[in-house]
Amino acid sequence: APEALTRKKTDVAEELERFLLGQMVPNPTIPFPVYMRRGLVLSYNQSPASPGYRYTFSRSSIYDNAVAVIALTMLDHPREATKIINGMMRSVRPNGDLWFGLNTHNSWPDEKDNDGATIRTGANCWVGYSVCYYILSELYKNPDALNADRILADYLEFAEKLASATLGRQIVNPKDPRHGLVTGGAGAYIYETINGQLQEIYKPGEVVWCSTEHN
């Protein structure tokens, strides 16, 4: 019985591994992703008949990509992990932020078109952590990897850029009750009643809240 249970767990793990690899674009859902988003993982696996499919079929959350990098590194898929990192690097904003959700069939959001897009500090930090996790895995194999591999040095610079953006949201005013904490990011959705109908309204700009999760 214990052997059968172990075999069953192994089968499930292999199935999940295949699923994760299959979520990377290009794939049957997004056979022709825009170049800057190639390699990212799709966050959803839905039937085209599902409600909201047209809004989410190509969506790729950077949090999902971050944990995928960690999982693929653990599963000894460094090539696939780097494809995801490269996709996120191509999508990073000049100030070091990443949009929380990215389309893969087109370039939304980008610097010219980002209405409705949000930024979340916690997700950015997960990306930075995942990149550092990958770098450390390579250093374990070769302690001189950062000097020998220019791309790995670029990854470290990417992680540092993400960290700098996070520190840019830290409250430094000692009189502020949030002193020392980092705020949650930018962009928010609120609910308002308009003509008797409850609607979701997008509000651009930096958010003021600090969550324990992000910090």
Is the pTM of the predicted complex or chain greater than 0.75?
Answer: yes
What is the chain's mean pLDDT, rounded?
95
For 30-58, what is each residue's pLDDT tens digit?
999 999 999 999 999 989 999 889 999 99
4 band by pLDDT with thresholds 50, 70 and 90: low
Residue 211 near residue 122, CB atoms below 8 Å = yes
Concatenating the DSSP letter of every residue in 59-118 gives EEEHHHHHHHHHHHHHTT-HHHHHHHHHHHHHH--TTS---SEEESSS--SSSS--TT--
10 band by pLDDT with thresholds 50, 70 and 90: confident
The percent of residues in the chain predicted with pLDDT above 90, rounded, is 90
For 98-153, what is each residue's pLDDT tens digit?
999 999 999 999 999 999 999 999 999 999 999 999 999 999 999 999 999 999 99
Q: At what angle do helices 62-74 and 78-91 cross, to 10 degrees?
A: 160
Q: Cα dihedral angle (114, 116, 122, 123), rounded to 10 degrees?
A: -60
Estimate to the nearest angstrom the gap between the alpha carbon of 84 and the chain centroid. Answer: 9
Residue 135 near residue 142, CB atoms below 8 Å = no
Q: 168 pLDDT exceeds 90? A: yes
